[in-house]
């Protein structure tokens, strides 16, 4: 009797889940963006919207909920109904760095979310001013070792991926350089161009034009692979520091416990959208390199990134509260 009852319950649950998947989506899907309009996460969502609308048969409503380093949007997503109608564009900040950067988060980046699909990443590039007496990563490391505490680098703020790219460099290269936080990446880049800084891990889209104009020197990119936009530049791992990877990644997530059939529908639509030339070209023009991955692989990435950046945050002493 007990076995028969358990089987019946499981069968009803399976039928209910299947029926939900067949009906899904029956209304617009909302995607929360943890930063303001014009941010990389916002650009990605709006670039994917036409394709997702076509593949899901429902509009994708982009809803910017910036603030608290992305934690506001993440918390709203985590506390939403797990029905597939509220998603977010997660980032390396909201789902990896912030876990260690903030003493208290209102959400858990793994337990409270369902990964849908990894979109891609935005690698940075190690750049210096022409006056710096180095032309490769190895030469720059040698220079930093010869001048401990004398070289400084800028970032868009303490705890950002740009800042922690520098801290990861310090740790892996065994050097000591000084971090100088700014209100934004553009302010830091201006200070670098003005000679107030020695180097920076800047975004490719903002730094490469300065490199081509001879105003900056580029040594290597911070991604796991060479960038198609500057294939002549090695990765940091290739150039001198095996295993160095520090790219700001983006991916779609929903609250925990979304029914598997709904997850499958969303993952398929997301990966199909990312495979289109239209979306690929729009993201590439914005400095985002499409590197899609399914729900399971994205989930594994999040877990590994939390552990990786926890050590970097601890070693740097960075705090956001």
Mean predicted confidence (pLDDT) in 71-85 = 98
* pLDDT given for residue 157 in this prediction: 85
Mean predicted confidence (pLDDT) in 61-66 = 95
Q: Which of 101, 47, 53 is nearest to 283 (CA)?
A: 47
Residues composing the chain: 321
- Residues 6+ away with beta carbon under 8 Å from 162: 124, 155, 156, 185, 188, 200, 201, 202
CATH code, residues 29-121+247-316: 3.40.190.150
pLDDT digits (tens, 9 = 90+) for 231-252: 999 999 999 999 999 999 999 9
Mean predicted confidence (pLDDT) in 107-123 = 97
* pLDDT given for residue 3 in this prediction: 53
**Dihedral (Cα; 242, 244, 250, 254), 10-degree rounding:** 80
* pLDDT given for residue 18 in this prediction: 52
Residue spans per domain, the chain: 29-121+247-316, 123-239
The reply to whether domains 29-121+247-316 and 123-239 share a CATH topology is: yes
* pLDDT given for residue 186 in this prediction: 85
* pLDDT given for residue 189 in this prediction: 92
CATH code, residues 123-239: 3.40.190.10
* pLDDT given for residue 249 in this prediction: 95
């Amino acid at each position: 009797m007990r076995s028969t009852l358990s089987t019946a319950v499981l069968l009803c649950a399976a039928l209910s889940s299947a029926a939900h998947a067949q009906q899904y989506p029956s209304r617009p899907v909302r995607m929360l963006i943890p930063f303001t309009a014009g941010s990389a996460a916002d650009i990605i969502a709006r670039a994917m919207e036409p394709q997702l609308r076509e593949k899901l048969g429902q509009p994708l409503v982009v809803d910017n909920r910036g603030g608290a380093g992305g934690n506001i949007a993440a918390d709203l997503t985590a506390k939403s109904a797990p029905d597939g109608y509220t998603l977010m564009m997660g980032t390396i900040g909201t789902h990896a760095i912030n876990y260690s950067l903030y003493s208290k988060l209102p959400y858990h980046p793994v337990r409270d979310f369902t990964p849908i699909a990894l979109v891609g990443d935005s690698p940075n590039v190690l750049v210096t001013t022409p006056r710096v007496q180095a032309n490769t990563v190895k030469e720059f490391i040698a220079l930093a070792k010869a001048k401990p505490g004398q070289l400084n680098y800028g970032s868009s703020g303490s705890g950002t991926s740009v800042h922690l790219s520098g801290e990861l460099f310090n740790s892996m290269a065994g050097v000591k350089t000084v971090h100088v936080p700014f209100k934004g990446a553009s302010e830091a880049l201006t200070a670098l161009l003005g000679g107030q800084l020695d180097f920076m891990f800047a975004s490719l889209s903002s730094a490469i034009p300065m490199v081509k104009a001879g105003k900056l020197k580029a040594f290597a990119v911070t991604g796991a692979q060479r960038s198609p936009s500057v294939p002549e530049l090695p990765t940091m791992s290739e150039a001198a520091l095996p295993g160095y990877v520090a790219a700001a990644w983006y991916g779609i997530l929903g609250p925990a416990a979304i029914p598997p059939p709904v997850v499958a529908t969303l993952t398929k639509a997301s990966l199909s959208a990312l495979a289109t030339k239209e979306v690929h070209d729009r993201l590439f023009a914005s400095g985002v390199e499409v590197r899609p991955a399914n729900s399971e692989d994205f989930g594994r990435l999040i877990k590994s990134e939390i552990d990786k950046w926890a050590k970097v945050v601890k070693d740097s002493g960075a705090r956001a509260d």
